[in-house]
Amino acid sequence: MKNTLLVIAILAIVSCKQQEGANVQTAPTQVGIDAVVTENGDLNVTDAVEDVTFKTEEASQIHASYLMLKGALVNTNAKEAAQEAAKFKDVLDAQVESDITRNLSDDLALISMSKDAAEQRVAFENISKKVEVYLSSEITSGTIYKQYCPMAFEGKGAYWLSNSPEIRNPYYGDKMLKCGVVDKEIQ
C-alpha cells in the first residue's frame, strides 16, 4: 500500500513539473489578484501594445475608435461607452458611406443611447465581428489580436479585438478581467 501511494505521489509531481513548461493560456482572475490598475483606475492598460498600420486613414480611425469603445467596456463604464460609441459613429459619419459605415451605425447608436453595460456588450459583440472582417483586409503591418472568452453571454462565448496579446475582457470587465485567450493573430 505504501508503495502504491509513493508511486502515485511521484507521478503527480512529475506530471506537474512537465506541465510547468507547457504553453498555458490566461485563466480567469479577479481584480486585485493579478490586475493592472493605473492611478486613474483604468483596467484596460497592458504592458505590451502592438502598433498596427492600415491601407487607409479610414481603417486607422475605425481601429482607434473600436479600441476606445472596448476600453470603456473593459472598465464597465456605461456612460463612457455611450460617449465612445457616439464618437465612433461621428467618425463613421465623416467618412464616405460604405458597407462598414452602414453596418456599424445601428449597433453604435444602440450603445450610445444605452445606460446599461450588459446591453452595450451585446451590441459590442456585433461590432467586433464586423470590424474584424473589415480590418482583416486593411492591415499592412503589425498584429491585431482576436481574443475569446468562452464564458461570455452565459457560456455562449464571444470574441473581441485587441492591440495587445494580454487579455482585458470587455464582456466581464472587473469581474473577470483576464478571462479569455488569444484565438488568432491577424496580420
Residue 24 has pLDDT above 70, yes or no: no
Take residue 125 and report the three cell numbers written for it.
459583440
Alpha-carbon distance of 24 to 11, in angstroms, equals 20
At 28, is the pLDDT very low, low, confident or very high (cuts 50, 70, 90)? very low
The residue among 170, 153, 152 whose CA lies nearest residue 161 is 170
- The two counts, helices (H) then strands (E), for the chain are 6, 5
At 43, is the pLDDT very low, low, confident or very high (cuts 50, 70, 90)? confident
pLDDT digits (tens, 9 = 90+) for 82-134: 999 999 999 999 988 888 888 899 999 999 999 999 999 999 999 999 999 99
At 34, is the pLDDT very low, low, confident or very high (cuts 50, 70, 90)? very low
Q: What is residue 29's predicted lDDT score, i.e. its pLDDT? A: 32
Alpha-carbon distance of 73 to 106, in angstroms, equals 18
